[in-house]
Amino acid sequence: MAELEKNSIEFTDKVKDDVHALAADTTEVELEGYAARRHAEQSLAHKWLSFESEELKEAARKMLHCRSSSTICMTEAGEVRYIWDEVCGLGKICPDEGRKETQRVVKKYVPELRKFAQRRPTHRLFYAVFTQPNFSLGSLKVGMDKIMLDLNERVLKAVEVIPEEERTSRKATRIRFPQIKGALTTLEAPLSEGLKWNVHVNAILMVDGRFDYKEICEAWGHNVEIRELKETDEQSLGQTIQEVLKYSVQLVTTKSASKRERHATNAPAFSEWTEQQTLEWWKAMKGFRRTRSYGEIYALEKVKWNNATQFQREKWLKTAGMPQEWATMEWLDIPKDNRKALKEIVLGADKGDPVTLIAIGRAILNDALTYSVDLIKGNNFFSSTSRKQTTYQPGYGHERFDTGPPGYH
Ligand SMILES: [Zn+2]
């Protein structure tokens, strides 16, 4: 009990600091702190509530309550964490969901990209932006599908006819860019100054050997910006991925507004789009896999499966509710539909050590401008359920779990 009392006092002090930090955030002009993120999300929500569309209204209601009240906990290490009552889950809009998605992609792909870059001296990484002429209003979905298809057919999976004199077998075609070993791509579709959809794809290309920009541009048929990523340490690659993902996952309002201040573009901010424009974007993005991986980078789960012990495989299969006999199978021999479900489990298997949380309080963050924190001092939040402590596995079914003070990441 003395221990609990001590924790509780520490926690009270820590939370006070945290909440003061939150309050201080409201004066920041940059849309970085917690308060600013909530403000941006909530102003968009208010705008959407004025629309006719029930779909957009529904999303707006989720955005309004996103991360506004939380159970606050302390880990044994003294770190304050938040278990939010409600989160919007709108990864393509919410600044917090966007950050979560970026962190996920960084954690998943940076180690693989690094390994690739360091494996051989001929291995290099390139950052590329593939653009096409803008698409007019009403054809966003068509444009999105087209650019992804073109990228496959013209570059990533392009096939060419082998000239007669070079044929060594009966094979008449070959991969056009065999030096591209893998890629991580993400699509963006902001509204341009001329009120057209500026659909483009950011990509990190994994290349082995000779790489001719001109050939790629020629094959693509439009503009491609390419630069080599010379720094392949963890931090630089993490930053590049953030760059690749940033515009599409950050609140569009933030980006467009700050860009406009720099007079870089007069494109309307997300919050200035009409209902029709918003709805078209919303419908096109719904269910669309914005971030995709190809080639060598694609098979992370395969690598992990192949390196796993029989015991580990059986555990995964059990979790997925699949037959234990499959533990002896090669990854690609598992039926495709099952592979998809199993992939999540295999990749999510090492999401960090369980953390013991001591939950002691509640935080209500009203419009991010005022706040109240209700600490249950000397008491344990979970004692009412006759449990003194609880163990959370980050990323496992606790979607509303956030680490650290929400204003400072
Ligand atoms: Zn949200």
Same domain, 164 and 284: yes
Residue 152 and residue 51 share a domain:
no
Interatomic CA distance for residues 146 and 152, integer angstroms: 10
What is the pLDDT averaged over residues 95-100? 81
The pLDDT of residue 247 is above 80: no
Question: Ligand 1 center to residue 228 CA distance, Å?
Answer: 35
Residue 74, phi-psi category: left (phi > 0), alpha (psi -120 to 50), beta (remainder): beta
Which has more confidence, 19 or 363? 363
The full DSSP string for 70-123 is: EEEEEETTS-EEEEES-----TTT-HHHHHHHHHHHHHHHHHHHHHHHHH-TTE
pLDDT of 381-391, one tens digit each? Answer: 433 332 333 33
Q: Residue 243: what pLDDT?
A: 80
Q: Is the dihedral of CA 34, 38, 41, 43 positive or negative?
A: negative
Of 59-63, 140-144, 167-171, minimum mean pLDDT range: 167-171
Tell which wins on pLDDT, 150 or 320: 150
Q: 396 pLDDT band (50/70/90 cuts)?
A: very low
* Of the residues 237, 255, 289, the one at which a domain ends: 289
Q: Residue 355: its pLDDT value, please?
A: 61
More confident residue, 330 or 356: 330
pLDDT, position 246: 67
Q: Determine the distance separating the centroid of ligand 1 and the alpha carbon of 44, expressed in angstroms.
A: 11
Secondary structure element (H or E) that encloses residue 390, with its range: strand 390-392
Whether pLDDT at 352 is above 60: no
**Tokens 């079914």 belong to which residue?**
397
What mean pLDDT do residues 110-135 have? 92
Residue 36 pLDDT > 90, yes or no? no
Mean pLDDT of the 66-77 span: 75
For residues 155 and 147, is the Cβ–Cβ distance under 8 A?
Answer: no
Residue 64 lies in a domain: yes
Residue 303 forms part of a structural domain: no
pLDDT interval class at 369 (50, 70, 90): very low
Within this chain, do residues 140 and 238 fall inside the same structural domain, yes or no? yes
Q: Residue 9: what pLDDT?
A: 53
Q: pLDDT value at position 383?
A: 31
Mean pLDDT of 244-272: 58
Q: How far is CA 181 from CA 90, 184, 199, 356, in A?
A: 32, 11, 25, 42
Confidence of residue 187 (pLDDT cuts 50, 70, 90): very high
Q: Classify residue 210: in a domain, yes or no.
A: yes
Q: How many domains does the chain have?
A: 2
> Quick one: pLDDT band at residue 402, thresholds 50, 70, 90?
very low
Please report, as a single letter, which amino acid is at residue 134.
N
What lies within 8 Å, CB to CB, of 85 at 6+ separation is 65, 68, 69, 70, 71, 400
| 124: Cα within 13 Å, side-chain hemisphere | 14
Range of the domain at 15: 2-92+352-403
**pLDDT over 60 at 343, yes or no:** yes
Indicate whether 198 and 122 sit together in one domain.
yes
The reply to whether 106 and 42 lie within a common domain is no
Q: Which tens digits make up the pLDDT trace of 282-298?
A: 999 988 888 888 887 75
Which residue(s) pair with 202 in the sheet? 129, 186
Q: What separation in angstroms does the CA of 272 have from each of 260, 277, 298? A: 13, 10, 37
Of the three residues 289, 314, 342, the one that is the final residue of a domain is 289
Which of 258, 274, 289 finishes a domain?
Answer: 289
Which pLDDT value is given to residue 272? 85
Average pLDDT over residues 228-242: 89
Banded model confidence at residue 24, pLDDT cuts 50, 70, 90: very low
**Most confidently modeled range among 42-46, 246-250, 302-306:** 42-46
CA of 125: how far to CAs of 170, 183, 237, 238, 300, in Å? 34, 9, 10, 13, 18
Most confident of 94-108, 208-222, 249-263: 208-222
> 268 and 225, same structural domain?
yes
Residue environment code for 235-252, b if the CB has 16+ CB neighbours within 10 A, otherwise e:
eebbebbbebbbbbbbbb
Give 88 Cα–ligand 1 centroid separation in angstroms. 4
Question: Do 245 and 119 have their domain in common?
Answer: yes
The domain that holds 219 is classified in CATH as 3.30.70.1910
Q: How far is the CA of 91 from the centre of ligand 1 (A)?
A: 8
Q: Is the pLDDT of residue 368 over 60?
A: no
User: How far, in Å, from the CA of 314 to the mean position of ligand 1?
Assistant: 37
Mean pLDDT of the chain: 76
Q: Is residue 255 domain-shared with residue 186, that is, in the same domain?
A: yes
Spacing, Cα 62 to ligand 1 middle (Å): 7
Same domain, residue pair 111 and 254: yes
The pLDDT, as a whole number, for residue 242 is: 83
- 253 in a structural domain: yes
Q: Residue ranges of the alpha helices (H) in 290-335?
A: 300-307, 310-320
Answer yes or no: are the C-beta atoms of 199 and 132 closer than 8 Å. Answer: yes
In a domain, 311, yes or no: no
Instruction: Output the CA 61–ligand 1 centroid distance in Å.
Output: 10
Rounded percentage of the chain residues whose pLDDT exceeds 90: 29
Residue 97 CA to ligand 1 center (angstroms) comes to 6
Amino acid 262: pLDDT: 43
- Model pLDDT for residues 318-336, shown as the tens digit of each residue: 888 899 889 888 877 888 7
**Inter-residue contact 380 to 55 (CB < 8 Å):** no
Sign of the Cα pseudo-torsion (87, 93, 99, 100, in order):
positive
42: pLDDT strictly greater than 70:
yes
* Domain co-membership, 78 together with 144: no
Higher pLDDT, 23 or 333: 333
What does the alpha-carbon distance between residue 400 and residue 253 come to, in Å, rounded to a whole number?
Answer: 24
* Residue 9, CA distances (Å) to 1, 15, 16, 209, 403 in order: 12, 10, 11, 60, 20
In this structure, the answer to whether residues 54 and 147 fall within a common structural domain is: no
Q: Is 329 part of a structural domain of the chain?
A: no
Closest to 38 (Cα-Cα) out of 71, 63, 75, 9: 63
User: Do the domain assignments include residue 344?
Assistant: no
- Taken in order 395, 396, 397, 400, is the CA torsion positive or negative? negative
Within a 10 A sphere around the Cβ of 407, how many other Cβ atoms? 22
Residue 305 inside a domain? The answer is no
Cα 41 to averaged position of ligand 1 atoms, centre (Å): 7
For the ranges 130-134, 265-269, 284-288, the lowest mean pLDDT is seen at 265-269
| CA angle at 207 for the pair 206 and 211, rounded to the nearest 5° | 140
What is the token pair recorded at 245? 């993902």
- Quick one: average pLDDT of 235-261? 63
Are residues 113 and 259 part of one domain?
yes
Tokens coding 249: 């996952």
Give 225 Cα–ligand 1 centroid separation in angstroms. Answer: 32
Q: Residue 86: what pLDDT?
A: 87
